[in-house]
Structures are given as structure tokens and as C-alpha cells.
Amino acid sequence: MAQDLPTTELIRFLAKLAVFEHLKREELSGLLSQCRLHALEQRQVMQAAGDLHHHLWVIVTGEIAMVARSEDGEELTLAIFGPGSTSSWIALFHDTPAERSLIGSAKSHILGIPRKVALKLLEQHPRLYPIVLKIEANRFRAALNLQQHNLVRERPRRVAGLLLMLMEMSGGGHHSQTIRLTSQQLAKMAHCSRQSIHEAIKNLAAHGAVVQRYGRIDVIDIELLRALYIKGTAGKAH
């Protein structure tokens, strides 16, 4: 396995993740011997739209973005998967080409588990299926919620729902507290202007739920963010 991280460190990392935590150390070691750890120096396409699904990707450091293209060729980020997350297990069962690309960010470490290896793992350990299905069910629910979020008229509430969805899409129970999207990318997802996004995030920040930084949004209080989405942001801010 080509890598610049020790195998022992990767075993410890996998042993903390949903699905893999149920495997013995020797099983994790055997799994890693069939995988490759990609150390990305720059942004790189891991799974191209139009290609068959060939790997399960496990994000060790950095992130992977799920990206689609509009009819005019404009790039649209649909989800971000951070450390501890995996790409879709269900996609490995598809016999049709991927409709969206998975792009690893620069300076990321991403473990690639070949499709056949990942499917064989599930065959050998059928008790893992309910865990995989739970991860995918959470993502499916989050994707459906996006449609509901976009119907919310109050923009701070809409953006709060979008941020919650992006965290849920990470899957595996390791929701990232950081959402690495620009205002322009968020505006496209929320179907509003960059100015509207700026004002909405400013509102959420005033309540103490988030902090906006360059190229990212840090979620300070998830429960507060959820409450603001459910009840609205008309209450007094901090």
C-alpha cells in the first residue's frame, strides 16, 4: 500500500469508524494490504462522472466533494465528506456509471478500497449490512431534506437547514463541524444570492450557532443551529 502514514496509525484510525470498528486488528491489517492510501498534493478527481463505481473512499484527512455539472457546465457542490467519512457503500452495488464526480481536496489523505474488496468484506461479515444501511439511510434522509429546506422562505432558516444537511451527509456518525464551502457555492445550493447568504450566515452567527471564516463555516453549536432551523431566527440574538 503506497502511503506516507504508518499502517499501525491507519489501523487505529479505521478501528474508530462505523463498520470497520467491528473488525479484528488482523482483519483490518489484511484489508489495508489490498488498499491504497492516496496522499494528494493538489485537487484530484477520485471518481469521475461517467465511470463505473470502482472504489469505496475513506477520508483520513482533508475531504472529498461530491460535484455535479449544470447544463451550462457550471460546477455545483452537492456534499462534502470530511475525516472519518466514506463515499457511498450503496454505489458499489450499481452497475451503471456514476452521475456525479468525487473530488479530493489538496493535502488530503484518502484511502481507496477497491470495489471488489469492499463487497467481499460485506459478504464475509453480513452483520455489517445494518450498519451500512443506517449510514446510507441518514444520507438519503438528508438529501430529501434539502428539497424541504429550499421551500423555507426565511433565508436564515433555509441556510441553517442546508448546513445541517451538509453535516448529516458526511455519514458514519462523524459529522464534521466545519463546512468548507464558499459563499458562492452555498448560494447556489440555497438558490439565493451571495448577499442573501452573507446576511443569513451573519444572522446565525449573531445567535452564536456558527462562525464564518475564509472559505468555510464552523458550526459552534449544532443543537442551537437545529433549534434555529425548526423555530426560526426571529428571536433575540446574542
Distance CA 223, CA 185 (A): 24
DSSP annotation of 90: G
Residue 157 has a pLDDT of: 83
Confidence band, pLDDT 50/70/90 cuts, at residue 148: low
Bridge partners, 89 (sequence order) = none
Mean pLDDT of the chain: 85
Domains and CATH numbers, the chain: 7-124 (2.60.120.10), 134-231 (1.10.10.10)
Out of 106-115, 157-166, 216-225, least confident range: 157-166
pLDDT per position as a tens digit, 87-132: 999 999 998 999 999 999 999 999 999 999 999 999 999 999 999 9
Q: What is the mean pLDDT of residues 28-42?
A: 95
Q: Are 87 and 57 in contact (CB under 8 A)?
A: yes
Residue 4 has pLDDT above 70, yes or no: no
Whose CA is closest to 171, among 134, 208, 127? 134
Give the dihedral of Cα atoms 138, 144, 146, 152; nearest 10 deg: -120
Q: In what order do the strands lie in the sheet containing 210-213?
A: 178-179, 216-219, 210-213
Taking only Cα atoms into account, the Rg of the chain, rounded to an integer number of angstroms, comes to 19
Whose CA is closest to 186, among 160, 153, 225? 160
Q: What is the mean pLDDT of residues 52-64?
A: 93
**CB-based contacts of 67, cutoff 8 Å, min separation 6:** 75, 76, 77, 78, 100, 101, 102, 103
